[in-house]
Amino acid sequence: MDWSDSPEHRAFRDDVRAFIRERFPKNYSPDIHGHQSLEPEDVFGYNWVADRCSSDPDRREGAMAWAGALAERGWVAPHWPKEYGGAGLSVAEEHILSEEMARARVPQVNGIGVNLLGPTLIAHGSEEQRRQHLPKILSGEVTWAQGFSEPGAGSDLAALQTKAVREGDVYVVNGQKIWTTHAQYADWLFILARTDPDEPKHRGISMFLLDAKTPGVTVTPIEDMRGDVPFNELFFDDVRVPVANRVGEEHRGWYVAMATLDFERSGIGATVKYRRTLEDLVAWIRDREASRGRLRHHARDVVRHEIAQRLIEVEVLNSLALRTVSMQEAGQVPNVEASVNQLFSAELHQRIAATGMKAIGMWGGNWEHDGTPLEGFLAHKYLEAVPYTILSGTAEIQRNVIATRGLGLPRE
């Protein structure tokens, strides 16, 4: 398979590079030490959400100006149809845009709204819901958080207990959510709640759109082991949600949610940022050896070998991502392939962090950003990499999908 650009794709890539050079706001420096991800290559549009609420006015205004520039081209949500403000790009063009943004270290915008809620509303929402919410996602005016998981419902999401009881024109919602990414910044939430407790658990669930300022909603931040606050608990206490805010049919929310999770799982691989981490690491080792002599002989051989291995694995991930792109180009829907990509990417993330820690030796225990190799990036990355085999489906769940749907192995 030839992965090189066609002449049209080459021209599109040049156009993207010129656009970023000309339009990325000069006074906008994204906060790479922000809450969700330490990586300058913000491929999920997570740091941007925090930048938009930053106390630094340059960062706040820069984040909004960048959203505006991308929106002019339909590049906030390049995969959405043009009629809803997307660019209607082909899958290959979308991949190139995402690759070039990561390479230039400029953030994606409004990740959860753009990648999860938007496509869900386009597929299952009412025309009124689309008209109300999609333009504000594109402009960056409104951000969203996904309230699916509960203390007793993660991998087994259908076990969720939050209840929504219909009373005339509203549903009254009571219950609790957990691990809700960026709910502390979110203006709106999309949640799952049980609307019929007597049905089997996959039925009787509905999806709702909920203004985060509705009386009875409490958002409680959760601090992770890095001391950052990437997620929250949500408590709903007699929260009144208009019936018009239900997405899709009553009791059929499970099927709407499965479509949302498919959008989550079909994300394009993060190869650019992994490759960049390894390149930065090699540059640091070269500098250090030039000024202070070789790393200890044994450690040097181990590190050399591991870095080479990681770079090979990045190429493997790149090929897996491109295979998914070519399937989508051919009109096929990746399913087990998305699980393979997600699992390989999450575990590679952790291996790269471990290799980096080995390479920097005693520096790995230093948490400060100033004066440490790569500004303490690897020590933070080492801890940040842990949840990657939990979020968007744990490693065990992905292996189950690969085993049963991919390899045809029996369930038991």
Ligand X SMILES: Cc1cc2nc3c(=O)[nH]c(=O)nc-3n(C[C@H](O)[C@H](O)[C@H](O)COP(=O)(O)OP(=O)(O)OC[C@H]3O[C@@H](n4cnc5c(N)ncnc54)[C@H](O)[C@@H]3O)c2cc1C
Catalytic residue positions? 264
CB of 47 to ligand X, least distance (A): 14
Locate tokens 């049919």: which residue? 249
CB 230 to ligand X: min, Å: 6
Told to check if 54 binds ligand X by CB under 6 A, we report no
Binding mask 287-306 for ligand X (x = CB under 6 A): --------------------
Can you tell me which of 366, 400, 402, 403 binds ligand X, judged by CB under 6 A? Answer: 400
Min dist. Cβ of residue 76 to ligand X (A): 20
Residue 180 touches ligand X, criterion: CB under 6 A: yes
- Least distance CB 152 / ligand X (angstroms): 8
Residue number, 36 or 355, with CB nearest to ligand X: 36
Q: What is the CA radius of gyration of the chain?
A: 22
Q: Of 45, 107, 204, 230, which lies in the binding site for ligand X, with binding defined by CB under 6 A?
A: 230
Is 255 exposed, middle or buried, given 0-12, 13-18 or 19+ CB atoms closer than 10 A?
A: middle
Give me the least distance between CB of 311 and ligand X, in Å please: 26
Instruction: For residue 300, give the 3-state DSSP assignment.
Output: helix
146 touching ligand X, by CB under 6 A:
yes
The binder of ligand X chosen from 390, 402, 403, 406 (CB under 6 A):
390
Q: Does 391 bind ligand X (CB under 6 A)?
A: yes
- Is residue 204 at the binding interface for ligand X, with CB under 6 A as the rule? no
| Separation of alpha carbons 398 and 11, rounded Å | 37
Stretch that binds ligand X, among 48-56, 239-247, 372-380, 384-392 (CB under 6 A): 384-392
Pairing type for strands 231-242 and 170-177 reads antiparallel
Q: Please identify the residue of the shown chain whose CB is closest to the bound ligand X.
A: 154
Considering only 37, 143, 149, 162, the residue that binds ligand X (CB under 6 A) is 149
269 secondary structure, DSSP code: P
Q: Which of 36/129 has CB closer to ligand X?
A: 36
Q: Examine residue 148 and tell whether it contacts ligand X (CB under 6 A).
A: yes
Burial class (CB in 10 A: 0-12, 13-18, 19+), 190: buried
Q: Does 179 bind ligand X (CB under 6 A)?
A: yes
How far CA 218 is from CA of 75, 206, 211, 213, in Å, comes to 34, 21, 12, 9
CB of 179 to ligand X, least distance (A): 3
Q: Does 387 bind ligand X (CB under 6 A)?
A: yes
Stretch that binds ligand X, among 59-67, 118-126, 141-149, 375-383 (CB under 6 A): 141-149
Residue the block writes with tokens 């109300």: 132
- The span from the CA of 214 to the CA of 61, in Å, is 27
Cα 56 from Cα 337, distance rounded (Å) = 41
Binding residues for ligand X, rule CB under 6 A, total: 18
271 belongs to the binding site for ligand X (CB under 6 A): no
Count of C-beta atoms within a 10 Å radius of residue 88: 14
Distances (CA, A) of 48 to 5, 67, 144, 394: 29, 9, 12, 25
**Of 8, 37, 185, 39, the residue nearest 101 (C-alpha):** 39
Long-range contacts of 280-285 (CB under 8 A, 24+ apart): 280/374, 280/377, 281/307, 281/355, 281/356, 281/359, 281/374, 281/378, 282/307, 284/359, 284/360, 284/373, 284/374, 285/359
Our finding on whether 181 is near ligand X (CB under 6 A) is yes
Smaller CB separation from ligand X, 87 or 109: 109
**Closer to ligand X at the Cβ: 157 or 359?**
157
Q: For residue 115, state whether it binds ligand X (rule: CB under 6 A).
A: no
Q: Residue numbers of the site for ligand X (CB under 6 A)?
A: 146-149, 154-155, 179-181, 230-231, 387, 390-391, 394, 396-397, 400
